[in-house]
Amino acid sequence: MIRFDWMSKALCARMDPDAWFNEDDAAEAKIACGWCPVRDLCKEFADTHEGTVSRKYRHGVWAGQGTSEREAHDADRTPERTRRAAALRDQILALPDLEAHVIAERFHCTKDHVWRVRRIAAQQRDMGVAA
């Protein structure tokens, strides 16, 4: 199961949220992230939830990294992580009749992730691209 309880301990929970979503001026957010007691959990959360999405669906500063920094990190992803992401996508797509929240609970991801995987697969089918 995905844990969210750490988020209440994050420094960003006590600050202006706009600081984390203005990538042109994210210095304040990145400094706060450097002092945050749950930075490692934040990084893990961002890695898990952004691991299979394109840059246009990534937003904000997580664990002191902006979207471009996280994207550069993803270029270094291990083949194992890539295989796990592909396996999760395949498991989601193999259960088209189950509701998103049921799949999310079963595979420890978010409903948004399930919807995103399904939407991207549908777009690829419409364009005639193999998933």
pLDDT in tens, 107-123: 888 888 888 888 888 88
What is the pTM (predicted TM-score) of this model? 0.51
Least confident of 20-29, 30-39, 78-87, 113-122: 78-87
User: How large is the greatest C-alpha to C-alpha distance in the chain, in angstroms?
Assistant: 47
Instruction: Say if residues 109 and 2 touch (Cβ distance below 8 Å).
Output: yes
Average pLDDT, rounded, for the chain: 80
Task: Return the SS3 of 65.
Answer: strand
Instruction: Say if residues 58 and 82 touch (Cβ distance below 8 Å).
Output: no
Instruction: Report the C-alpha gap between 40 and 95 in whole angstroms.
Output: 32
Q: What per-residue confidence (pLDDT) applies to 19?
A: 81
Instruction: Report the C-alpha gap between 59 and 55 in whole angstroms.
Output: 8
pLDDT exceeds 60 at position 103: yes
Q: What per-residue confidence (pLDDT) applies to 102?
A: 92
Give 119 or 73, the one with higher predicted confidence.
Answer: 119
